[in-house]
Amino acid sequence: MSLLRPYKTKYLPLALDVRNRMTIAYQNGGASLLDFLDAEKSYRDTRLAYLNLIGSYLSAAAQMNMAVCREVVQ
């Protein structure tokens, strides 16, 4: 869980903010298409890393629960 917290509280909001600012800048002619697409890719990469961490956590929790034959990690 400690690995998920920075993504949820810091990295995802930061990536979303950068993407939103770049979208506005691109729409108003202040940024190139390449800059806009790079911001979009960075946001998606950050979101994917977060979702992969959730999947890894849930997989590890399920393996732990199976190993002890009861639910110890939720």
In a domain, 22, yes or no: yes
In a domain, 61, yes or no: yes
In a domain, 59, yes or no: yes
pTM: 0.83
In a domain, 36, yes or no: yes
What secondary structure does DSSP assign to 33-61, as a single string? HHHHHHHHHHHHHHHHHHHHHHHHHHHHH
> Residue 46 belongs to what domain range?
4-68
Percent of the chain residues topping a pLDDT of 70 = 100
Total domains in the fold of the chain: 1
Q: What's the average model confidence in pLDDT over 36-65?
A: 95
Q: What's the average model confidence in pLDDT over 57-72?
A: 90
In a domain, 44, yes or no: yes
16-38 pLDDT, tens per residue?
999 999 999 999 999 999 999 99
- Measured distance CA(62)–CA(70) in Å, rounded: 10
Buried b (16+ CB within 10 A) or exposed e, 26-36: beeeebeeeeb
The answer to whether the CB of 65 falls within 8 A of the CB of 71 is yes
21 or 70: which leads in pLDDT? 21
In a domain, 15, yes or no: yes
